[in-house]
Amino acid sequence: MFPVDPSASLSLEIGFGGGEHLAALAKARPDTAFIGAEPFINGIVSLLRHIDEQNLRNIRIWPDDVRLILDDLPESSFTSVYVMFPDPWPKTRHAKRRIFSPSMLDKLALCLKPGGSLRFASDHPVAKSWLLAEVLRNSAFSWTAQSAKDWRLRPSNWPQSRYMMKGEHEGRASSWFDFKRN
């Protein structure tokens, strides 16, 4: 499937949007294989453009909702999972559409290797609180933050995306969350 060592790291980005974050990760880590899951054609086309322009060979695309394949993925297959700025679905009646449900987190925990990373970011106040609370409730994950700066400042190894820069320009404060799989 990938022209990289089969024992190499495998990472997943859920909802890669325009693909800037995923492409930057793939370029910086050529020995890591990446799967990007995105149901929207505009995002897929944008990522394909990045792949072509940067000659990236370590990305594969799942062109649909990641929840359709999680049950079929081998346990402990990923070293990291990224969910960058998911749709906040801020209204209570839309809560079932949010990406981090208890069952979704359980599936992600099974797919992550012990010690693997679940990384997510948000600039929406309701989404930040809700996402953080959902992951903290799941005993499979431990939050790595030691101080407020660990979640208030973008880690230098987390590439920027167009959406991220737009949010900063509009004055939205982002938060960066890094959890380890127990």
pLDDT tens digits for range 157-172 = 889 888 888 888 999 9
Count of CB atoms situated within 10 Å of the CB of 100 = 22
Task: Name 35's bridge partners.
Answer: 12, 60
pLDDT digits (tens, 9 = 90+) for 112-121: 999 999 999 9
> Once rounded to an integer, what is the mean pLDDT over residues 148-159?
91
Cα 15–chain centre separation:
7
pLDDT the model gives residue 54:
98
Token duo for residue 59: 């990305």
User: What global pTM score does this model have?
Assistant: 0.92
Do residues 83 and 12 lie in contact, with contact meaning Cβ atoms separated by under 8 Å? no
Examine the pLDDT at 4 and tell me if it is beyond 60: no
Rounded Cα–Cα distance for residues 127 and 132 (Å): 8
pLDDT digits (tens, 9 = 90+) for 51-79: 999 999 999 999 999 999 999 999 999 99
In CATH terms, the fold of domain 10-181 is: Rossmann fold (3.40.50)
Between the CA of residue 11 and those of 54, 134, 158, 164, what are the distances in Å?
A: 19, 22, 14, 21
Of the candidate ranges 11-20, 107-116, 131-140, 156-165, the one whose mean pLDDT is the lowest: 156-165
Rounded Cα–Cα distance for residues 31 and 15 (Å): 22
Examine the pLDDT at 1 and tell me if it is beyond 80: no
Between the CA of residue 78 and those of 12, 40, 92, 146, 174, what are the distances in Å?
A: 7, 23, 31, 24, 25
Q: pLDDT tier at 126 (50, 70, 90 boundaries)? A: confident
- Average pLDDT over the chain reads 91
Catalytic residues: 87
Q: What is the DSSP string of 78-110?
A: EEEEEEES-----SGGGGGGSS--HHHHHHHHH
Q: What are the backbone angles phi and psi of residue 155, rounded to the nearest 5°?
A: -60, 140
